[in-house]
A and B are shown apart, each in its own frame.
Chain A
């Protein structure tokens, strides 16, 4: 018992030699031991601090007591190493021995507990494995997060880009664009609206649409209607035109297309406005010209009827009564009177011819064309049959190449051939009249030619000959009123073709006319 007491009384006594003596105080070995033990001690102290921190944080941690035991065992180890350092220079071997004993006790206890818990520990997830799963999970989450972030970024970029694009379109649009809400208040305008109406943007935002497009006298407004059933459409129903009013109170016709945008809170109406002043003016002009044309056509038709009836009536009276005079009073009139009556009747007869030709010309311009695919051969034959007397009279030789099938009004084409061949016979020279008809395909047209060996035409006159009542010769030389070629020209032109002539005096003449391969009718 006294030995036990003595042990504790001399616990801190230095009655032994410090361990340094064993190292002969060689600094190398002294410091090797001292520093190594110090480092081991420091390490041993730090480990339990970490363990205690984990235990405090992780309340769910299993084997809590084991961890605590482990911590105290390591701490104790630390203390024994600290004692080793101390005892290099001192000699508290009793205290050191006591510390070792305590450490030994803690070590054995921990070892026993560890051995006993080992099978249970096997069953729980190994920390490394958990760590790995955890890491994979974290990686996945990180990857997903990044992808989402990238997507968000991209979307944001797109949105910004398309917004910028939209804004530039919006501003640069040649149409005025505005948006108004359910209350009819303007919420958006583009530059064109400012130009069209002469307002600054700030003067319009929040103002009623009516300052730009005043309500019509009927009180009709687009706004309530539109919001009751938003759709894409044109404002101003059934031909009703909208009137825009500028800042300077002047008005102009506008057309407004309506669309709508679904905003965050409500629908806004999107109006696309065009200034249709020009179109309206052009339309009015076209309308006016059309009216004039209709009137002039009606006048012509009226003229045609007047020519066919009213104008001929008095002529018929003149002729008939002159006839009666001549017939009934022949014996009582002298030779002069007979001659006078003859001239009067002749004048009236020519007048009648002129009127009838004028009527013919006018009808050619107005009659409805009955265009169909027609074989040129029988058309030419019909013309030649009508000219049989003249051909026989002049002992003329009329020849023709094969003719194509073309879209035309056959009656009118007959008349074209008849007039051209008739002219060729009429204006014959000394030699036996020869007329040759041929056709040639030139691009999208057939070009017909009627060639003769007659007196020909001085090229300076070629423009005149197609005018109505234009004559190059007097009536005694070559009878006629000068309507034949005018009628031909009109018929050809109504078929979408052209007519021209190539000739030299004394060299005969070739009349050429074209007819389109595809049917067209010019009214």
Chain B
């Protein structure tokens, strides 16, 4: 049933975010917004790549339908994570949403140059974040048709 994949709610979502306050906030926003998708968290760029490659402690991780990627990450910057994802044939079909506080035109341009699927500014308050969570789920997991994973 390949068509079912596009309307994939509830789905697995990978959140790559180093700030625990943001992680918790996102979880609370999902809760407040009544979102049904599962939020998996990687705390830096290396963990994110390990999760996606299912290596180490992430050997039994689930392939996410969507990646929410913060740019300002320790050890491996969000740009590098984005570049690696988009260079790998197996991973590049997964839509990557950049979630950043930065509105710098350079950051935005660079993200799209590296084939980010969209660039979103982190909302200033909880209401904005709840609304954004709903929007993402509705559009990317409800409306948009996503590609099936390779060989899957």
Point out residues on A near B: beta carbons under 8 Å.
304-305, 308-310, 312-313, 315-317, 319-321, 323-324, 327, 345, 349, 352
Interface size class of B (residues with CB under 8 A): 10 to 19
Most chain A CB within 10 A, of B25, B101, B104, B125, is at: B125
Whether A309 pairs with B100 at a CB distance below 8 angstroms is yes
A-side contacts of B129, CB under 8 Å: 320
Q: Which of A305, A308, A310, A316 contacts B124 (CB 8 A)?
A: A316
Whether B100 and A324, one on each chain, are in contact in the complex, defined by CB atoms closer than 8 angstroms, is: no
Among B22, B25, B101, B127, which residue has its beta carbon within 8 angstroms of that of A309? Answer: B101
Could you list some 30 contacts between A and B, CB below 8 A? A304-B104, A308-B101, A308-B102, A308-B103, A310-B72, A313-B19, A313-B101, A315-B124, A316-B101, A316-B122, A316-B124, A316-B125, A317-B21, A317-B22, A317-B25, A319-B126, A320-B25, A320-B123, A320-B124, A320-B126, A320-B129, A321-B21, A321-B25, A321-B126, A323-B125, A324-B28, A327-B126, A345-B125, A349-B124, A352-B124
Q: B19: which A residues are within 8 A, CB to CB?
A: 313, 317
List chain B residues, Cβ under 8 A from A319. Answer: 124-126
B131 shortest CB reach to chain A, Å: 12
With a cutoff of 8 Å between Cβ atoms, the chain B residues found around residue A305 in the complex are 102, 104
| A317-B21, A321-B21 given; A312·B126 CB < 8 A | no
Within B115-131, the residues touching A (CB, 8 Å) are 122-127, 129
CA distance A315 to B28 in the complex (A): 18
B32 located at the interface, meaning its Cβ lies under 8 Å from any Cβ of chain A in the complex: yes
Given contacts A308-B102, A308-B104, A313-B19, are A320 and B125 in contact (CB under 8 A)?
A: yes
Residues of B within 8 A of A321 (CB): 21, 25, 126
CA distance A321 to B126 in the complex (A): 7
The distance in angstroms between the C-alpha atoms of A345 and B124, with both chains bound, is: 11
Write out, one digit per residue, whether chain B residues 65-78 have a CB within 8 A of any chain A CB (1) or not (0): 00000001000000
Task: Determine how close the nearest CB of chain A comes to the CB of B12; give it in whole angstroms.
Answer: 24
Give the secondary structure class of A's interface: helix
User: A321 vs B129: C-alpha distance in the bound complex, in angstroms?
Assistant: 11
Task: Give Cα distance in the complex from A375 to B87, angstroms.
Answer: 45
Min Cβ gap B24→A in Å is: 9
B102–A309 touching, CB < 8 Å: yes
- Quote the shortest CB–CB distance from A411 to chain B (angstroms): 12
A308–B127 alpha-carbon span in the complex (Å)? 21
Asked if B124 contacts A327 (CB within 8 A), the reply is no
Q: Chain A residues near B122: list those with CB within 8 A.
A: 316
User: Knowing that A304-B104, A317-B22 are A-B contacts, what are 4 other residue pairs whose CB atoms are under 8 Å apart, sorted by A's residue number?
Assistant: A309-B101, A320-B126, A321-B126, A324-B32
The distance in angstroms between the C-alpha atoms of A323 and B124, with both chains bound, is 10
Bound form: Cα–Cα A323–B127 in Å: 8
**Shortest beta-carbon distance from B5 to chain A in Å:** 33
Which residue of chain A has its CB nearest to the CB of B122? Answer: A316
The 0/1 profile, CB within 8 Å of A marked 1, for residues 115-152 of chain B is 00000001111110100000000000000000000000
The 7 closest A-B pairs by CB, nearest first: A323-B126, A309-B102, A320-B126, A317-B21, A323-B125, A319-B125, A312-B101
Which A residues are CB-close (under 8 A) to B125? 316, 319-320, 323, 345
Cα A310 to Cα B102 in complex, Å, equals: 9
- Contacting residues, chain B, for A312 (C-beta < 8 A): 101
Contact call B124/A324, Cβ cutoff below 8 A:
no
- Given A309-B72, A313-B19, A349-B124, are A324 and B25 neighbors across the interface (CB < 8 Å)? yes
Q: Are B25 and A327 in contact (CB under 8 A)?
A: no
- For B101, the chain A residues whose CB sits under 8 A away are 308-309, 312-313, 316
A315 to B21, CA, bound (A): 12
Within the complex, the shortest CB–CB distance from A16 to chain B, in Å, comes to: 156
A319 → B minimal CB distance (Å): 5
* Residues in A whose Cβ lies below 8 Å from that of B127: 323
Shortest C-beta distance, A374 to chain B (Å), equals 21
- CB interface residues, B 16-37, toward A, < 8 Å: 19, 21-22, 25, 28, 32
CB distance from B133 to the nearest CB of A (A): 13
Chain B hits for A349, CB < 8 A: 124
| CB of A190 to closest CB in B, whole Å | 59
Q: Which residues of B contact A324 (CB under 8 A)?
A: 25, 28, 32, 126
Contacts of B126 in A (CB 8 A): 319-321, 323-324, 327
How far, in Å, is A417 (CB) from chain B's closest CB? 22
Q: How distant is the Cα of A320 from the Cα of B28 in the complex, in angstroms?
A: 10
Considering only CB atoms, which chain A residue lies closest to B26 in the complex?
A320
Bound: A308/B123 CA distance, A: 14
Nearest CB in chain B: distance from A397 CB, A:
35
Q: How far is the CA of A134 from the CA of B18 in the complex (A)?
A: 121
- Least CB distance from B21 to A in Å reads 5
List the A side residues contacting B123 at CB < 8 Å.
Answer: 316, 320
Smallest CB gap from A305: residue in B: B104
Inter-chain contacts of B104 with A (CB < 8 A): 304-305, 308-309
Encoded as 1 (CB less than 8 Å from any A CB) or 0, chain B from 41 to 60 comes to: 00000000000000000000
Closest to A312 in B: B101
Closest beta carbon of chain A to B101's beta carbon, Å: 5
Chain B residues closer than 8 Å to A317, beta-carbon distance: 19, 21-22, 25
Q: Once the chains bind, are A327 and B21 in contact (CB under 8 Å)? A: no
Cα–Cα, bound, A309→B19 (Å): 13
With the chains together, A321 CA to B21 CA distance in Å?
9
By a CB distance below 8 angstroms, the chain A residues around B102 are: 305, 308-309
Residue of A nearest to B126 (CB): A323
Min CB gap B17→A, angstroms = 11
Contact of B32 among A304, A309, A327 (CB under 8 A): A327
Contacts of A323 on B, CB cut-off 8 Å? 125-127
Residues of B within 8 A of A320 (CB): 25, 123-126, 129
Chain B residues lying within 8 Å of A352, measured Cβ to Cβ, are 124
Kindly state the separation between the CA atoms of A327 and B130 in the bound complex, as whole angstroms.
12
Which single residue of chain B is at the shortest CB-CB distance from A313?
B101
Listed residue (A305, A309, A315) with the most chain B CB atoms within 10 angstroms of its CB = A309
B128 CB to nearest A CB, Å: 8
